[in-house]
């Protein structure tokens, strides 16, 4: 099957599952998108690692956290406590060039991810008292993979960044799924129709803002990191993940890169796909 046809079939499968309602929802701000859905571990564990999920969708408004709720539920059934984060994405106006809704909001997308992670311990105490925040792993798919890597690198941001942390975030690790992890390569490959360029405000702002947002420029994090990537992914090609791993190596950090044969973009979050079980195992290796 051609890669494009495989990706289409895999996307259809991943989006075929009905959304799964959370056990609790909490707000971390006043905007309607500043909320976190919580899923308790399905085995009734008294203490479980916390997995923070950041959904993808090219940072564009039509894609919200609901599409990844079957994946969140899958992780909860594997014994994790799960926090599925919503955040502000691009507006509904078309991007320049007519490629659909604009990707991301600057700085609101980053404001929200930083605020959600900073508020997480307090939110978890109320919503999921059995979750062990000392064993927190952040995972994200596609654009959410970029945000997951970024969340673990805030101590490497320029010190004038509003999201800068003086010390590394208290995370067990990051598992980034087909992440848009290197903006320079992503733009060369026109990943998601120039989404990373739009996220940073267009060509006039891209270079200025890239050091504040591009995971490939925020290394080494000192936090255990694994990338999971399908070899036949045509949405975010393998070259993007490999470029990030290469940048990490040059910075003196070993980043895991799990490449899955005959797998495209969407099986990584599809509970019925074998690739999703691989993702859960990668998370477990960092969490337990």
pLDDT for res 154: 98
Alpha-carbon gap, residue 87 to 110, rounded angstroms: 8
Q: What is the mean pLDDT of residues 282-287?
A: 98
pLDDT for res 94: 57
Q: Is the pLDDT of residue 164 over 70?
A: yes
Alpha-carbon gap, residue 179 to 241, rounded angstroms: 7
Q: Is the pLDDT of residue 95 over 80?
A: no
Give the residue among 2, 182, 199, 220 at the shortest CA–CA distance from 95: 199
pLDDT for res 108: 97
Alpha-carbon gap, residue 120 to 133, rounded angstroms: 8
Buried b (16+ CB within 10 A) or exposed e, 208-226: ebbebbbbbbbbbbebbbb
Q: How many CB atoms lie within 10 A of CB 79?
A: 17
Half-sphere exposure of 173 (CA within 13 A, CB side): 17
Q: How many CB atoms lie within 10 A of CB 189?
A: 14
Alpha-carbon gap, residue 244 to 226, rounded angstroms: 11
Q: Is the pLDDT of residue 230 over 90?
A: yes
Q: Is the pLDDT of residue 183 over 60?
A: yes
- Per-residue pLDDT tens digits for 112-142: 999 999 999 999 999 998 899 999 999 999 9
Please list the residues that pair with 52 across neighbouring strands: 83, 138
Alpha-carbon gap, residue 219 to 215, rounded angstroms: 7
- Eight-state DSSP code of residue 226: E
pLDDT for res 4: 74
Identify the sign of the CA torsion 120, 179, 236, 60. positive
Q: Is the pLDDT of residue 3 over 90?
A: no
Give the residue among 209, 210, 218 at the shortest CA–CA distance from 176: 218
* Average pLDDT of the residues of the chain: 95
CB 153 within 8 A of CB 205: no
Give the burial class of 146: count Cβ atoms within 10 A of its Cβ; 0-12 exposed, 13-18 middle, 19 or more buried. Answer: buried
- Per-residue pLDDT tens digits for 239-266: 999 999 999 999 999 999 999 999 999 9
CB 207 within 8 A of CB 200: no
Q: Is the pLDDT of residue 97 over 60?
A: no
CB 199 within 8 A of CB 213: yes
Q: Is the pLDDT of residue 93 over 90?
A: no
Q: Is the pLDDT of residue 92 over 80?
A: no
pLDDT for res 55: 98
Alpha-carbon gap, residue 177 to 241, rounded angstroms: 9
Q: Which tokens belong to 280?
A: 């859960």
pLDDT for res 5: 80
Residue 29 pLDDT level (bands cut at 50, 70, 90): very high
pLDDT for res 45: 77
- Per-residue pLDDT tens digits for 191-216: 999 999 999 999 999 999 999 999 99
Helix (H) or strand (E) holding 257: strand 256-260
Q: Is the pLDDT of residue 33 over 60?
A: yes
Q: Is the pLDDT of residue 100 over 80?
A: no
Cα end-to-end distance, the chain, whole Å: 38
Please list the residues that pair with 54 across neighbouring strands: 85, 140
Q: Is the pLDDT of residue 24 over 70?
A: yes
- Per-residue pLDDT tens digits for 265-280: 999 999 999 999 999 9
Helix (H) or strand (E) holding 4: helix 3-14
**Is the pTM higher than 0.95?**
yes
């Amino acid at each position: 099957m051609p890669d494009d046809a495989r990706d289409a079939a895999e996307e259809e499968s991943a989006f075929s599952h009905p959304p799964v309602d959370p056990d609790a929802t909490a707000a971390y701000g006043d905007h309607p998108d500043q909320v976190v859905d919580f899923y308790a571990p399905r085995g009734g564990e008294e203490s479980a690692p916390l997995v923070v999920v950041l959904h993808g969708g090219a940072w564009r408004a039509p894609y919200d956290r609901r599409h990844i709720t079957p994946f969140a539920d899958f992780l909860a059934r594997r014994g994790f406590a799960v926090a599925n984060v919503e955040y502000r994405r691009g507006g509904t106006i078309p991007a320049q060039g007519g490629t659909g809704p604009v990707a991301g909001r600057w700085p609101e997308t980053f404001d929200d991810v930083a605020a959600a992670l900073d508020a997480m311990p307090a939110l978890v105490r109320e919503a999921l008292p059995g979750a062990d925040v000392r064993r927190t792993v952040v995972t994200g798919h596609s654009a959410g993979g970029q945000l997951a890597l970024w969340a673990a690198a805030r101590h490497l941001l320029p010190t004038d960044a509003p999201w800068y942390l003086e010390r590394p975030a208290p995370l067990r690790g990051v598992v980034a799924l087909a992440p848009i992890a290197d903006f320079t390569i992503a733009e060369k490959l026109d990943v998601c129709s120039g989404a990373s360029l739009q996220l940073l405000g267009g060509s006039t702002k891209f270079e200025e803002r890239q050091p504040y947002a591009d995971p490939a420029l925020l290394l080494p994090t000192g936090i255990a990191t694994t990338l999971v990537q399908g070899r036949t992914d045509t949405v975010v090609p393998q070259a993007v993940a490999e470029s990030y791993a290469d940048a990490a190596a040059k910075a003196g950090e070993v980043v895991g890169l799990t490449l899955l044969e005959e797998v495209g973009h969407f099986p990584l979050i599809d509970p019925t796909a074998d690739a999703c079980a691989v993702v859960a195992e990668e998370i477990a290796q960092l969490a337990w």
